Amino acid sequence: MKKRRGFVQFAILNLLKEGPMHGYQIMKELEERSSGAYSASAGTVYPALQELLDQSLIELDTGSDKKVYSLTDSGNERLAEKDLVGDFWNEWKERMMWRNSEESVQLREAVVRWEKELHKAMKHARGNPESVRELIAFVDEMTDRLKK
């Protein structure tokens, strides 16, 4: 699964484990299971569904007036491979609530500022081996500090 939509894809697999659903039902359930902290959009859910279809983790029944998605045996196996500790839907809700928190927003903004400055420093260091070594040492030090 692609990293960007991996958690949404995993949530979709968990929903379809409960039974077949059409896209709008999936979007509503994702929102409900997060107590409204996640607002599912067609621009996220339908590409995630397509990726799951491409991987044969779900299948599509077009026999009715709505496209109904269901879990395949491969999808069940993928869920079994994920050794989930605890309740997935509690984790889903907590993750979505954190994602919308002021602290999370501030942290993402800080990361964007940091990335911008890092790219400037990389550009400035280009062609200067000593500056490149210093920048690598700095990034390694920050990485080590994050691991603590």
Beta-strand runs (E) in the chain: 21-22, 58-61, 68-71
- ∠ CA(40), CA(112), CA(38), 5° rounding? 15
Whole-model pTM? 0.69
Candidate CATH numbers 1.10.10.1590, 3.40.50.1820, 1.10.1040.20, 1.10.10.10; the one for domain 6-100? 1.10.10.10
Distance CA 124, CA 1 (A): 36
Residue 96 has pLDDT above 90, yes or no: no
35 CB burial (10 A radius; 0-12, 13-18, 19+): exposed
Look at residue 1 in the predicted model and tell me its pLDDT. 35
Which three-class secondary structure state does DSSP give residue 33?
Answer: helix
Residue 5 has pLDDT above 80, yes or no: no
User: Tens digit of pLDDT for each residue in 107-148?
Assistant: 999 999 999 999 999 999 999 999 999 999 999 999 999 998
Look at residue 3 in the predicted model and tell me its pLDDT. 40
Distance CA 27, CA 17 (A): 15
